Amino acid sequence: MQKADFLEWLREGSISIPAALLTEYKNMHLTEKELVLLLQVLHFAEKGNEFPTPAELSGRMASSAFDCTEMLRTLIQKGFIEIKDGFSPDGIRFEKYSLDPFWEKLIDRFLQSRKQERVHARQVEET
């Protein structure tokens, strides 16, 4: 093992995900495959690619490009991902994925879980 390899590891960096995502995705009716696809889209965006192709996604996933296309379609239909227009500095239009609807759903779901816990805590107190 060489120091250059370690340096490359550090350069690739880490991805930080809210702990609530791991505890709530099930309640958001997402499968593990869909969750990981969303993380891949996030990671591509952090590296500057805001519109990864199904082939690029499938290159990192245990799913075919066809399956990735299907999953993207499903996630758009269920309102987790949106396709938005962006414009480059030279005015060229491009498409990109926005995960804002996904974050909004996560916030909603987290707030709902908190409410349920409070109701539950009150019921326990009253008995």
Contacts (CB under 8 A) with a second copy, residues 68-97: none
104 binds a second copy (CB under 8 A): yes
Using the Cα atoms of residue 105, residue 42, residue 15 and residue 22 in order, give the sign of their dihedral: positive
Q: How many residues bind a second copy (CB under 8 A)?
A: 45
61 binds a second copy (CB under 8 A): yes
Tokens 């816990």, residue? 117
**Rounded (10°) CA dihedral 63, 56, 95, 73:** -10
Cβ atoms within 10 Å, residue 78: 15
Question: Residue 22 and residue 11: Cα distance in Å, rounded?
Answer: 25
Burial class (CB in 10 A: 0-12, 13-18, 19+), 58: buried
- Of 63, 69, 78, 82, the residue at the interface with a second copy (CB under 8 A) is 63
- Of 43, 50, 53, 65, the residue at the interface with a second copy (CB under 8 A) is 43
- Closest contact distance (angstroms) between CB of 42 and a second copy is 9
* Minimum CB distance to a second copy smaller for 60 or for 78: 60
16 binds a second copy (CB under 8 A): yes
Contact between residue 76 and residue 52 where contact means Cβ atoms under 8 Å apart:
no
Where do contacts with a second copy occur on this chain (CB under 8 A)?
Answer: 1-3, 5-20, 22-23, 25-26, 30-33, 35-36, 39-40, 43, 46, 60-63, 100, 103-104, 106-107, 110-111, 114
